[in-house]
Amino acid sequence: MPFRWGMAIDLNACTGCEACVTACHAENNIPTVSAEQASRGRAMHWIRVERYYEGNFPDVRVKFRPVLCQQCDNAPCEAVCPTYAAHHNEDGLNAQVYNRCIGTRYCANACPYNVRFFNFFNAEWPKPLHLQLNPDVSVREVGVMEKCTFCVQRIKAAKTAARAEHRALVDGALQPACAQACPTSAIVFGDLNDPDSRVARLARSPRGTRLLEDLGAEPKITYLQKQPWHEPDAY
């Protein structure tokens, strides 16, 4: 049976430390842009931590929500791509093929989660900082779209290693960079097709919701949090 990679993020465990953001930048060779360009919305973060404030000072509560590509089953970005650069593969991954991308940016406009990023520049790394670039991940050039890949290079490597040793991939052996870096283990990654995997059990949890679920994009990321109907006084 093919895999169906998914993720569960426990918002009650997330402390908003942004270790996932840092890990993602390091793993996936994501370039940084200048402050001026960032103010024009050209910053690239495949995962970001959104902050929501509740109440007035000094009684303020901050809630965090890490947002990355939701790897939608019914992805709006795929339908609008004229070159099929955004497509679904057999593992349920929402793939982005840089070779095919011609930079129309339709996908970024169609994406309701704002998690697709356009390379407005050829990124530059002052030497010798380029030696820290991950050799397993492409360095994208100007004019292509990029987004979270669920660390497809790690998925590929884990599959190859498992097949070389004639064993099945065990649940939890494979983690994307964000899940690996998370100090509170708020991010859980795994195969949704395996009903016993940790992520599949969390996806069935009554604490779970999906981001902008009413849009019908069928995202594969489940956000877990204490729901108001569990404990009305908490909200």
Partner 1 sequence: MASFRLLPSAFCLLLAAVLLIVTAACTLASPGQPKWNDASVSRSRWGTDPVFTPARSSFGQAFREFLGRRPTDVAQPFPFSHQIHLSKGATCTDCHTGVEQGPRAGLPSINTCMICHSQIATDRPLIQQITRMQEEGRDLNWNRVYNYFPESHVRFEHAPHIRAKVECSTCHGAQIEQTVARRAVDMDMQFCVNCHKNNKPQASNDCLTCHY
Q: Which residues of the shown chain bind partner 1 in the complex (CB under 8 A)?
A: 33-34, 36-37, 87, 89-90, 93, 95, 97-100, 120-131, 133, 136-142, 149, 152-153, 156-157, 160-161, 163-164
64 vs 125 by CB, closer to partner 1: 125
Q: Name the minimum Å distance from CB 24 to partner 1.
A: 15
User: What is the C-alpha to C-alpha distance for residues 209 and 101, in angstroms, rounded to an integer?
Assistant: 32
24 vs 224 by CB, closer to partner 1: 24
54 vs 141 by CB, closer to partner 1: 141
Q: Name the minimum Å distance from CB 88 to partner 1.
A: 9
Instruction: Give which of 217, 228, 3, 27 is closest to 114, Cα–Cα.
Output: 217
60 vs 168 by CB, closer to partner 1: 168
Give, for 185, the enclosing helix (H) or strand (E): none
Burial class from Cβ neighbours inside 10 Å (0-12, 13-18, 19+) for residue 132 reads: exposed
Q: Name the minimum Å distance from CB 115 to partner 1.
A: 17
Q: Is 216 left (phi over 0), alpha (psi -120 to 50) or beta?
A: left
157 vs 170 by CB, closer to partner 1: 157
108 vs 139 by CB, closer to partner 1: 139
Q: Name the minimum Å distance from CB 49 to partner 1.
A: 24
220: number of Cβ within 10 Å: 24
* 224 three-state secondary structure: strand
From residue 200, alpha-carbon distances to 5, 70, 172 in Å are: 10, 15, 12
Q: Name the minimum Å distance from CB 56 to partner 1.
A: 37
Q: Name the minimum Å distance from CB 166 to partner 1.
A: 10
User: What is the C-alpha to C-alpha distance for residues 219 and 198, in angstroms, rounded to an integer?
Assistant: 18
Strand partners, 65: 50
| Cα torsion 140, 144, 150, 156: sign | negative
